[in-house]
């Protein structure tokens, strides 16, 4: 058995290592076009901000380690430029001296990844001050340039994971950072209501956000970029530009070899990651995979899936079965002090896919209030109606958002429902969480909605309600109300509710909220028990509403619907 691997990072290195564990005698040759193999792509942005102190720390395994520890031959600076399927060889170009040669294979693994998109339509895109972030060489070049004297203003184009992480790290490195994003929000795995927390966080830390804006030119000489928003052209100062608007799978080799390419432009593979040629496998960012929630094929540029695919493909080469259950898409990111994670379908994605669904938005404490590091966490749970099947979740907070989302990812993978989540027995100590964890609480709230125990409106529906003079009751205490409240809202604290029942109208809908929806839920139950049938909870309550409205109000200069925001 001779395995040839194209691409020496996540998918390629994982395949090579797995094959070695399965077969002590296999000959394994791994080609990598770049200078390094098996580096930590995901840690690259943190080198800019000094979290990763040395670029050496980005290198996980060196070619020498591969040889000594695993008897895997690594050839860096060697690009595979053709696959000759009939002769079962690849043509390799040694980039150090230009020499070309053929290398035979029994099995071939394609793990060439995806390259950053650099649209030719942007004038000046090839300027020396424009960078992308894909590998260690890129990040060293970018950091060196950023550290040159006179480089103060940075524009990051694209608000996905890489753009956001690069923006944060350059900000920490003391740069004046602007982030320009073509759509109305950064971080598409999050719904618009949730992502406002991240918009605010970036804004609070001095990253200037330009949303719904498209960069049309890089003007290296004048140190700016030109962008356009709703037909209005504007310039943003930019001594340095980082392009992070997405990646395109590297399919050229596969295409030229006549391998099938899927509809989403990834290499087409079967459930064992074989391409249309059974001796050629492909994994990672270059392929398209089955999305178990959408029942369609799509691309998912994440490290965990690439590693799992690599192991499954290697196993298949040795007749070890693998049950490919598809992907749900779980990801996390830290934005300054906020940890953000998402799994499965957002509301947006569920709607696009035609699901019947609903969602709940909560802001519970992640630890008991007695603990000094207790913080609220924004948590959104998306579920199918009427089955209660869990479709997705998003969590953002200072605390362990990833832990909550990992739990939900496990539930989704096991086709869990709200009832399962309600019953899920999780560990507890005040050091880590609350006895009824946020995820259990979300299930309880969602079940109340699913079973029709109460109705709700979402934070994005509140502005029209306020503007049309709807009857809103704020059940927080007077001191909380006085610090900031919805304009026109009536303050009847929960503790005094029973004395004020006759003030509450029965003939029109009455909207309730508190700080985080806990007290408004008690109020709602108390009112329902006394025959009030037209009471609606404001999902997310005042905290959710403040976070939802704040950034938009600031950006647009529109009239706030609250007297003051409150984020405590």
3-state helix/strand/coil string of 348-359 = HHHHHCCCCEEE
Count the residues of the shown chain that bind ligand FAD, applying the rule CB under 6 A: 34
The nearest distance, CB 50 to ligand FAD, in angstroms, is: 16
Secondary structure percentages of the chain, helix, strand, coil, to 5: 30, 30, 40
* Residue with smallest beta-carbon separation from ligand FAD: 284
Q: Is 170 in the site for ligand FAD (CB under 6 A)?
A: no
Euclidean distance between CA atoms 363 and 209, whole angstroms: 25
The nearest distance, CB 8 to ligand FAD, in angstroms, is: 6
The nearest distance, CB 365 to ligand FAD, in angstroms, is: 27
Q: Is 551 in the site for ligand FAD (CB under 6 A)?
A: no
Q: Is 42 in the site for ligand FAD (CB under 6 A)?
A: yes
Q: Is 34 in the site for ligand FAD (CB under 6 A)?
A: yes
195 or 445, CB closer to ligand FAD? 195
- For 445-462, letters b (16+ CB in 10 Å) and e give bbbbbbeeebebbbbbeb
The nearest distance, CB 44 to ligand FAD, in angstroms, is: 4
The nearest distance, CB 144 to ligand FAD, in angstroms, is: 17
- Of 17, 162, 167, 524, the residue at the interface with ligand FAD (CB under 6 A) is 162
- Of 3, 4, 9, 396, the residue at the interface with ligand FAD (CB under 6 A) is 9
Site string for ligand FAD, 282-301 (x = CB under 6 A): --xxx--------------x
Q: Is 168 in the site for ligand FAD (CB under 6 A)?
A: no
Q: At 385, phi and psi to the nearest 5?
A: -115, 130
Q: At 34, phi and psi to the nearest 5?
A: -80, -170
* Contact residues for 559 (Cβ-Cβ < 8 A; gap 6+): none
- Of 80, 207, 486, 536, the residue at the interface with ligand FAD (CB under 6 A) is 80
Residue with tokens 């007749």: 319
Q: Is 358 in the site for ligand FAD (CB under 6 A)?
A: no
Give alpha helix (H) positions in 71-183.
Answer: 136-146, 161-172
Euclidean distance between CA atoms 248 and 285, whole angstroms: 8
91 or 491, CB closer to ligand FAD? 91
- Of 19, 29, 108, 111, the residue at the interface with ligand FAD (CB under 6 A) is 111
3-state helix/strand/coil string of 393-454 = EEEEECCCHHHHHHHHHHHHHCCCEHHHHHHCCCCCCCCCCCCCCHHHHHHHHHHHHHCCCC
**Per CB under 6 A, which region of 2-10, 226-234, 411-419, 489-497 contacts ligand FAD?**
2-10
Q: Is 135 in the site for ligand FAD (CB under 6 A)?
A: yes
- Of 60, 95, 151, 303, the residue at the interface with ligand FAD (CB under 6 A) is 303
**Per CB under 6 A, which region of 34-42, 384-392, 429-437, 534-542 contacts ligand FAD?**
34-42
Residue 499: CB atoms within 10 A of its CB come to 9
Q: Is 314 in the site for ligand FAD (CB under 6 A)?
A: no
Euclidean distance between CA atoms 146 and 48, whole angstroms: 9
Q: Of 284, 289, 279, which Cα lies nearest the Cα of 324?
A: 289
At 538, is the secondary structure helix, strand, or coil?
strand
The nearest distance, CB 306 to ligand FAD, in angstroms, is: 4
Q: Is 312 in the site for ligand FAD (CB under 6 A)?
A: no
Order of strands across the sheet with 176-180? 130-131, 240-243, 153-157, 176-180, 208-210
Q: Is 329 in the site for ligand FAD (CB under 6 A)?
A: no
Q: Is 347 in the site for ligand FAD (CB under 6 A)?
A: no
Q: Which of residues 227-286 bind ligand FAD (CB under 6 A)?
A: 250, 253, 284-286
- Of 125, 302, 353, 501, the residue at the interface with ligand FAD (CB under 6 A) is 302
* Beta bridge mates, 361: 380
Tokens standing for residue 81:
């430029």
Instruction: Let me know how long the chain is.
Output: 568
Q: Is 11 in the site for ligand FAD (CB under 6 A)?
A: yes
Cα pseudo-dihedral 156, 158, 164, 165, rounded to 10: -70
Q: Is 402 in the site for ligand FAD (CB under 6 A)?
A: no
Which residues make up the interface to ligand FAD (CB under 6 A)? 6-7, 9-12, 31-34, 41-42, 44-45, 79-80, 111-113, 133-135, 161-162, 250, 253, 284-286, 301-304, 306
């Amino acid at each position: 058995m001779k395995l040839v691997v194209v691409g020496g990072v996540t998918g390629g290195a994982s395949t090579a290592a797995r094959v070695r564990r399965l077969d002590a005698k296999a000959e394994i040759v791994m080609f990598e076009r770049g200078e390094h193999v098996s580096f930590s792509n995901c840690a690259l942005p943190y080198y800019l901000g000094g979290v990763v102190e040395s670029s050496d720390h980005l290198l996980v395994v060196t070619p020498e380690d591969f040889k000594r520890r695993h008897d895997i031959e690594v050839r860096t600076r060697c690009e595979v430029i053709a696959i000759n399927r009939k002769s079962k060889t690849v043509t390799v170009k040694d980039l150090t001296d230009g020499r070309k040669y053929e290398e035979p294979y029994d099995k071939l693994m394609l793990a060439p990844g995806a390259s950053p998109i650099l649209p030719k339509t942007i004038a000046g895109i090839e300027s020396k001050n424009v960078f992308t972030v894909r590998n260690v060489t890129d990040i060293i070049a970018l950091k060196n340039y950023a550290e040159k004297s006179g480089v103060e203003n940075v524009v990051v184009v694209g608000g996905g994971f890489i753009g956001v992480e690069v923006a944060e790290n350059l900000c920490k490195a003391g740069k004046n950072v602007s982030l320009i994003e073509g759509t109305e929000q950064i971080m598409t795995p999050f719904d618009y209501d949730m992502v406002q927390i991240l918009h605010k966080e970036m804004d609070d830390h001095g990253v200037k956000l330009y949303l719904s804006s498209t960069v049309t030119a890089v003007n290296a000489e004048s140190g700016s970029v030109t962008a356009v928003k709703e037909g209005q052209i504007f310039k943003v100062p930019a001594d340095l530009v980082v392009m992070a608007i997405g990646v395109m799978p590297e399919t050229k080799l596969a295409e030229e070899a006549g391998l099938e390419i899927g509809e989403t432009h990834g290499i087409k593979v079967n459930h064992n990651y074989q391409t249309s040629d059974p001796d050629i496998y492909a994994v990672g960012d270059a392929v398209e995979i089955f999305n178990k929630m959408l029942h369609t094929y799509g691309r998912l540029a994440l490290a965990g899936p690439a590693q799992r695919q690599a192991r499954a493909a290697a196993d298949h080469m040795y007749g070890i079965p693998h049950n490919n259950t598809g992907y749900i898409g779980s990801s996390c990111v830290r934005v300054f002090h906020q940890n953000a994670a998402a799994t499965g379908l957002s509301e947006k994605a569920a709607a696009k896919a035609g699901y019947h669904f609903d969602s709940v938005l909560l802001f519970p404490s992640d630890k008991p209030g007695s603990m000094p590091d207790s913080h609220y966490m924004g948590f959104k749970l998306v579920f199918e109606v009427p089955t209660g099947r869990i479709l997705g979740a998003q969590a953002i907070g200072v605390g362990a958002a990833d832990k909550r989302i990992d739990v939900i990812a496990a539930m989704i993978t096991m086709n869990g429902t709200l009832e399962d989540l309600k019953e899920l027995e999780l560990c507890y100590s005040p050091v880590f969480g609350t006895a009824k964890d946020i995820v259990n609480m979300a299930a309880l709230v969602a079940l109340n909605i699913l079973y029709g125990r109460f109705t709700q409106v979402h934070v994005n529906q509140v502005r029209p309600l306020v503007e049309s003079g709807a009857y809103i009751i704020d059940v927080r205490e007077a001191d909380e109300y006085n610090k900031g409240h919805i304009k026109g809202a009536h303050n009847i604290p929960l503790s005094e509710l029973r004395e004020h029942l006759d003030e509450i109208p029965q003939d029109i809908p009455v909207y309730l909220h508190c700080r985080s929806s806990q007290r408004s839920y008690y109020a709602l139950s108390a009112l329902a028990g006394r025959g009030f049938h037209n009471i609606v909870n404001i999902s997310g309550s005042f905290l959710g509403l403040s976070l939802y409205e704040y950034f938009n109000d600031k950006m647009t200069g529109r009239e706030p619907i609250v007297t003051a925001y409150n984020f405590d």
